Amino acid sequence: MISKGVVRMYEEYERSRGDLSGMFSVLADAFTIDRVLYPGSYIHLSPSLIFPSVVYVDTDRRAKKFFSDRSSVETLVDARKQYDESSGITFHHADYTTALDEPDESFDLLISLYASFVSEACKRYLHVGGWLVANNSHGDASMASVDPDYEFVAAIKHRSGRYGLASRELDSYFVPKRDVEVTPELLRSTGRGVGYTKSADAYVFRRRH
């Protein structure tokens, strides 16, 4: 039996943050993705509605309590998932900047949403050729854009209730509005993204080294 507390907690979170399963569905259609790592996830289950194997990481005690009710979380996902396989959900109550109990280069997708510089701290877990999806609220898309280990391959845009990938004219993105050199040091000192002349809801990078 599913816990009403789990359902209520997730529904409240989803109302405030939104359901991003449409964005992950676009990624699933475009790329081969099996294992997903989501550092700084809190209780955001949208990836598990699209991908059968997702590892969540967060230090929040509420997230730990939420995921500890494994049966309720799996029931919640199973009622909404868009695949036939059983859902595989793992949660690490941990700081993602420390070593995680996961093999290096074992994930196909690394998610960085509202959680600072995931692209740096968790790059080791993403295999070469794997994908990073990041937004720029805490500067991680900016960080990935100046990291030679990542190649910017697509922008994700949300228009008229639907998500889509834009892969043309990519050089028009990550052009600062102000005359500033975007460096890792600058981004770490400010802890936020740079203002650009053209922006997207999220950005997709491929790990190339």
The string of pLDDT tens digits covering residues 39-90 is 999 999 999 999 999 999 999 999 999 999 999 999 999 999 999 999 999 9
Question: For the chain, how are helix, strand and coil distributed in percent, rounded to 5?
Answer: 35, 25, 40
How far is Cα 141 from Cα 147, in angstroms, rounded to an integer? 10
Mean pLDDT of all residues belonging to the chain: 95
Span 109-134, mean pLDDT? 97
Span 159-166, mean pLDDT? 93
Question: pLDDT band at 153, cuts 50/70/90?
Answer: very high
Name the strand (E) or helix (H) holding 132: strand 126-134
Give the residue extent of every domain in the chain.
4-207
* Percent of the chain residues topping a pLDDT of 70: 100
Asked if residue 106 has pLDDT above 90, the reply is: yes
CATH number of 4-207: 3.40.50.150
Span 7-25, mean pLDDT? 90
Q: Give the pLDDT score at 2.
A: 87
Per-residue buried b or exposed e for 46-62, using 16+ beta carbons within 10 Å of the residue's own CB: bbbbbbbbbbbbbeeee
Q: Give the pLDDT score at 16.
A: 86
What is the three-class DSSP state of 142? helix
Q: Give the pLDDT score at 67.
A: 97
